[in-house]
Amino acid sequence: MSTGDQNPQLQLDALGSAGCARVFQDVESGGVEDRPGLLQALEHLRQGDALVVWRLDRASRSISHLIALAKEVRGRGAHLVSLTEAIDTQTPGGELIFHVLAALAQFERSLIRERTRAGLDAARARGRIGGRPRLLSQSQVDLARTLHERKSHSVAEICAALGGISRQTLYKSLSRVKT
């Protein structure tokens, strides 16, 4: 699973139905190569075993890592099986389909990354910036700057007057260039 708030039950049920004797889990993105559960699964592989995954992207999101993983599994005398894609690298056809789907998965991931970047660039070009909205308006920042420069009020008093903001928020706002 990529995040802790996802429910693995669908994957666990499919692996159980496939007759998996042992299940290893990770709560990290498939893009992370050195995951403890994956490493444990590889350590337990023996001659004639199968490393069964629910989907190929659960094993890896990078074609180079996925191919390296399949090679390591093969080097241990085992084979890779993906339940969702119905791939078994024990057969020549399964090996071919594995490589084709791995390439398509990498291509899809690259397209998603490209579209995300294009969307962010387009939003920035329209003047939109990401992140959390600022707590203080420009007029509040100007007031805070005036009070702070005059030293007529303490930092605690300025923070309280601006709605109980934190000192950190005040200092970040004061360091902001006037827009």
CATH number, domain containing residue 25: 3.40.50.1390
On whether residue 32 sits in a domain, the answer given is: yes
Q: Structurally, how many domains does the chain consist of?
A: 2
pLDDT digits (tens, 9 = 90+) for 59-97: 887 778 888 888 999 999 999 999 998 889 998 998 898
Phi then psi for 104, rounded to 5 degrees?
A: -65, -40
The tokens 């056809």 sit on which residue? 93
Q: Are residues 72 and 22 in the same domain?
A: yes
Cα 75 to Cα 53, 69, 142, 148, 151, distances in angstroms: 18, 10, 67, 68, 72
Does residue 2 lie within any of the structural domains? no
* Catalytic positions, written as ranges: 2
Q: How high is the pLDDT of residue 179? A: 53
Find how far residue 17's CA is from the centre of its chain.
28
Residue 132: inside a domain, yes or no?
Answer: no
For the stretch 18-52, pLDDT in tens is 998 899 888 766 556 678 888 899 999 999 999 99
Same domain? 143 vs 121: no
Query: What range defines the domain where residue 57 resides?
Result: 9-125
Does any domain span residue 1? Answer: no
In a domain, 121, yes or no: yes
- Which phi-psi region, left, alpha or beta, contains residue 86 (left: φ > 0; alpha: ψ -120 to 50)? left
> Based on the domain organization, do 119 and 87 belong to the same domain?
yes
